């Protein structure tokens, strides 16, 4: 994941650390992006999951799988394919949030590119990773 501002300072520093595979933001209201490369056109995204750590269960992180047209207007907003949010529950344990509600799930790498956007409101949430299940046909 790569941090994108709004930045609290002008240094452009990431202000995050990685500890045993957990991305730990050190500032609030941070956006992170990661490219997604699918191996084949025509397959279907069946589910989208976030694996995360939550220290206090008081805040909600939103993570989206998004697509953008390669031959469209650069100013058009990306389309959200799937979205998950963190939830209350067991503190400081590895957690998974999953959705199978995928909008336009067919992959078209010829005309689109894909990425994940994470909106992290506080340093109490850590990103372990995302899991995207892709199959020729979803069950």
Question: Which DSSP symbol is given to 106?
Answer: B
Per-residue b or e along 12-49, where b marks 16 or more CB atoms closer than 10 Å to that residue's CB:
eebbbeeeeebbbbebeebebebebebeeeebebbbbb
pLDDT, residue 57, reads 79
One-letter-per-residue 3-state SS of 49-108: EEEEEECCCCCCCEEEEEEEECCCCCCCCCEEEEEEECCCCCCCCEEEEEECCCCCCECC
End-to-end CA distance of the chain: 30
Task: Encode the chain (139 residues) as per-residue pLDDT tens digits.
Answer: 555 555 555 455 556 666 666 666 666 778 888 999 998 899 999 999 999 988 887 889 999 999 999 988 888 899 999 999 998 766 767 899 999 999 999 999 999 999 999 998 888 888 899 999 999 999 8
Contact 65, 34 (CB under 8 A): no
Closest CA to 35 of 122, 112, 119: 112
pLDDT, residue 10, reads 47
């Amino acid at each position: 994941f790569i941090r994108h501002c709004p930045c609290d300072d002008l240094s452009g520093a990431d202000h995050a650390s990685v500890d045993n595979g957990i991305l730990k933001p050190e500032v609030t209201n941070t956006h992170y992006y990661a490219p997604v490369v699918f191996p084949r056109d025509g397959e279907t995204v069946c589910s989208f999951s976030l694996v995360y750590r939550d220290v206090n269960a008081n805040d909600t992180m939103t993570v989206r799988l998004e697509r953008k047209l390669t031959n469209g207007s650069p100013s058009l907003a990306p389309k959200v394919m799937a979205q998950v949010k963190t939830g209350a529950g067991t503190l400081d344990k590895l957690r998974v949030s999953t959705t199978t509600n995928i909008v336009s799930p067919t992959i078209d790498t010829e005309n689109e590119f894909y990425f994940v956007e994470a909106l992290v409101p506080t340093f109490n949430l850590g990103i372990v990773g995302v899991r995207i299940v892709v199959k020729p046909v979803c069950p």
